[in-house]
A and B are shown apart, each in its own frame.
Chain A
Amino acid sequence: MNRLAILASSLALACAAALAALPAAAQDSLAKIKEKGVLSVGVKNDYKPWGFLEPSGKIVGLEIDLAQAVADKIGVKLEMLPVTGANRMEFLKQGRIDMIVATMGDTADRRKIVGMVEPNYYAGATNVMAPKSAGLKKWEDLKGRKVCAVQGAYYNRRVSQLYTPDLTVFPTVPDALNALAGNNCVAFLFDDTLIVSTLSAGDPKWANYEMPLVSEDPQLWAIGIRLEDMDGPLGKIVKDISTDWHKSGKLLELETKWGIKQSPYLIETNKKLKAAS
């Protein structure tokens, strides 16, 4: 046997060993959650103000309040697991978490893998933050220019395909903001409500910055649960509580509590549901 053949066979051996250990799907999640007494939720801890860390190590934020409300409704304790855009759906499928409340955009592709609970609890749109001196007027002005963005944001792909900016992607928001402040890019591609919050916070550093474009691509955010739970008891509970949040205006209250500008989507849905009842 020559060395290459040995190498190939050991490689095959390693892969086979890895594949042999496949995850098992969970059945009747609600009963299981009640039995354990714990609802495991995947949350963000690096996306202020939806989910972020306190110096004590506690995770707080708008989405944490939502997750807590669901746990309270079921009558169990809340366990939070910090997730990233890359691993949250995997964790859910494996059963490591029961629910995702982690700034997850509701897209057709993801719906094939994860159950998206309606009504959606938030909607953001895409815009850029840029110095006034950059003189951006329309999205096409971004063509070929350096634009900072954050890893894993759903709008990165769409914007780079449509307007072909020279996209520089950073791991976190502060990294990207730092690059913008240091003139490493002409604009920062981000969620429009967060840009409004940043600009209106009164930091003199951003006094000469603006949100020059018309927000595009409204994107709904959804709570994610396993597909097989969508028609199960867990899906029903989450759906009901989500409707209730809209109707009672709890979501709008939470936006105010966490310093987010009230989003048009929430105001509209609140009106619609109130009129219907």
Chain B
Amino acid sequence: MSAGATDLPVLLPYRAPAPIAPSGLAAPVLLGGGTFAAFAILFGASLALAQVTARPAGEGATTVLLRWAPLIFQGFLFNILISFLSMALGTLIGVLVGIAQVSLVAPLRKTAWGLTQFFRNAPWLVLLFYAMFLLPFEFRVFGLTIAFPAWVKAIIGLALPVAANVSEIVRGGVRSIPSGQWESAEALAFTRRQTMWMIILPQAFKRMIPPWMNLYAILTMATTLISVVGIQDGLTITRAALVAESRPELMIPMYTLLLLMFFAYCYPIARATMALERRFNVKA
């Protein structure tokens, strides 16, 4: 029997109106296209300006930019590599600390909580400085010398705040699973470890993916911080290129070129994150 089949005064369940989500393809594509076009116009305008104000004997701004583009792109790829590796390391540590945060063992839980809060609320650049200047440049283990170059230290430095944020994502994801799941598992004689790995984490996983991707996009943009500690990333190379050219009017086109590279990489991640969030919203 369906709800509409009776004329008795029945209280129907309240249904919220569907949220007006920018779903479908048109809106995001138009939005993304608009942002991209805006940057492209800015880029073109700065280039044109640089062209006009260039000294007569100098080369065209576009020529100069094209000449440096491969090197700047190499630097950008290095940023991406750093972001990959620190995300991997940060996620590995973060997942462990996050699970420790929901542990039943009080000292473990409290230590994990303390570490998470400390690294989550410390400035990224300061952590990076600590990693750069406190870690040795090489380790000697059993007469074997293991080099420990600056970029590895930078990865560790960036992985610390990432781990703390991942830890919070994991804790939040686990906590978001209704307690009924825990209770049912207990009733079915699952151990706590089994419950965590076989019941809770698989459900929490999809909820952790969007914030995790968000964190990755933020990390990628934050990798330019390593230019401050003297690592040859995209930003350092862009600056060095500007110095080599000694043409101040090229500053805005050069920086915009680097900005476009980052944007082209991070924007699709942001879109995918939003798409995933919407998808998981419906199911939840």
Closest to B138 in A: A95
Residues A178 and B248 in contact, CB atoms below 8 Å apart: yes
Check A262 for interface membership: any CB of B closer than 8 A.
Answer: no
Residues A53 and B134 in contact, CB atoms below 8 Å apart: no
Q: Which residues of B contact A177 (CB under 8 A)?
A: 246, 248
In Å, the complex CA distance between A56 and B135 comes to: 32
Residues B111 and A10 in contact, CB atoms below 8 Å apart: yes
Contact residues of B: prevailing secondary structure? helix
Residues B137 and A53 in contact, CB atoms below 8 Å apart: no
What is the size, in residues, of chain B's interface with A at 8 Å between Cβ atoms? Answer: 45
- Kindly count the residue-residue contacts between A and B in the assembled complex, taking CB atoms under 8 Å apart: 116
In Å, the complex CA distance between A91 and B229 comes to: 11
1/0 contact trace for A134-178 toward B, CB 8 Å?
000000000000000000000000000000000000011111011
Residues A19 and B243 in contact, CB atoms below 8 Å apart: no
Contact pick for B114, options A10, A91, A173, A181, CB 8 Å: A10
Closest to B131 in A: A18
Contact pick for B134, options A7, A21, A24, A202, CB 8 Å: A21
1/0 contact trace for A76-95 toward B, CB 8 Å?
00000011101100110011
Check A258 for interface membership: any CB of B closer than 8 A.
Answer: no
Q: Which residues of A contact B115 (CB under 8 A)?
A: 10, 13-14
1/0 contact trace for B128-153 toward A, CB 8 Å?
00101111111010000000001000
Which B residues, 90 to 144, have Cβ-Cβ distances below 8 Å to chain A?
Answer: 110-111, 113-115, 117-119, 130, 132-138, 140
* A–B Cβ pairs within 8 angstroms, 7 of them: A10-B115, A53-B237, A83-B230, A172-B239, A175-B248, A198-B246, A203-B55
Check A112 for interface membership: any CB of B closer than 8 A.
Answer: no
Contact pick for A53, options B56, B132, B240, CB 8 Å: B240
Residues A87 and B229 in contact, CB atoms below 8 Å apart: yes
Residues B248 and A174 in contact, CB atoms below 8 Å apart: yes
Closest to A60 in B: B244
In Å, the complex CA distance between A203 and B246 comes to: 11
Contact pick for B118, options A14, A24, A204, CB 8 Å: A14
Stretch of B11-19, B31-39, B66-74 on the interface side: B66-74
Smallest beta-carbon distance A133→chain B, Å: 19
In Å, the complex CA distance between A52 and B240 comes to: 7
Closest to B70 in A: A55
Q: Which residues of A contact B269 (CB under 8 A)?
A: none
What is the size, in residues, of chain A's interface with B at 8 Å between Cβ atoms? Answer: 48
Contact pick for B240, options A45, A95, A175, CB 8 Å: A45
Residues A11 and B118 in contact, CB atoms below 8 Å apart: yes
Contact surface of A with B, Cβ cutoff 8 Å: 1, 3, 6-7, 9-11, 13-14, 18-19, 21-24, 45-48, 52-57, 82-84, 86-87, 90-91, 94-96, 171-175, 177-178, 181, 198, 202-205
Residues B239 and A46 in contact, CB atoms below 8 Å apart: yes
Residues B71 and A55 in contact, CB atoms below 8 Å apart: yes
In Å, the complex CA distance between A198 and B247 comes to: 11
Contact pick for A6, options B53, B110, B243, B251, CB 8 Å: B110
Smallest beta-carbon distance A174→chain B, Å: 4
Q: Which residues of A contact B250 (CB under 8 A)?
A: 174
Known: A13-B115, A174-B248, A178-B251. 16 other contacts (CB 8 A): A6-B110, A7-B117, A9-B114, A18-B134, A22-B136, A23-B137, A46-B240, A53-B243, A86-B229, A86-B230, A87-B229, A87-B230, A174-B239, A174-B247, A174-B250, A202-B57
